[in-house]
Amino acid sequence: MSMPLNKRMVIVLSSLALLAGMNGLAGCSKSDEGSATSSTASDAPSTTAKSGETTTTAEVAVDVGVNVKIVSSGMGDVLSDGQGHVFYIYTPDGTGAATCVDACAAAWPPVLTEGGVVADAAVSKLKLGSTGQGASEQLTIEGQPVYFFASDTEPGSASGQAAGGKWFVLNTDGVAVQS
């Protein structure tokens, strides 16, 4: 029996975060435990030396974390992770701490920011951050905690849209799609 995609993603991201921490690659900093933090992406070229050679690339290399990008869905263009898995907000959260925990989080796993947050150029205007502590830091977009829907297994799938009148995908401006 195969493991659901979201569980595999959490396991892979957790393993990569541990590896990055052991190698001193984690570059996160927070001003206060439990407070929301903001981050922005850099599009500056990077230079790498290998066997006496120097190469320059315009791409940002990310070992772990979450990449925020735009994906097309049945709801139009919406925000997703780097694999196209759609992000949701839970309206009872507002812009505070995440309230979907335990059994709720099994169906609606939080989008964890282990290793940081990188935004594609198309979404760089959004206020991206995190809430929570340590390995449980959850992505926030415009101050709202962000989740996946466990039943969305295909990129662009938004089958959790409007579930219970409380779960909504985010448009490219970081606003809940109310339909």
Tens place of pLDDT per residue across the chain (179 aa): 444 545 445 454 444 443 343 333 233 333 333 444 444 333 333 333 333 433 333 333 434 589 999 999 999 999 999 999 999 999 999 998 999 999 999 999 999 998 889 999 999 899 999 998 877 899 999 999 999 999 999 999 999 999 999 999 999 999 999 97
The rounded distance, in Å, linking the Cα atoms of 105 and 98 is: 10
Q: DSSP 3-state assignment of 71?
A: strand
Please list, residue by residue across 149-176, b when 16 or more beta carbons sit within 10 angstroms of its beta carbon and e when fewer do.
bbebeeebbbebbeeeeebbbbbeebeb
Domain spans of the chain? 5-43+56-169
Show the DSSP H helices in 23-102 as ranges.
none
The structure's pTM equals: 0.66
Which is nearest to 136 in space by CA: 5, 60, 28? 28
Distance of alpha carbon 85 from alpha carbon 149, whole angstroms: 9
Encoding tokens for residue 20? 């990055």
Q: What is the pLDDT of residue 75?
A: 92
- CA angle, residues 62, 73, 113, in degrees to nearest 5: 30
Report the distance separating Cα 28 and Cα 80, nearest Å. 22
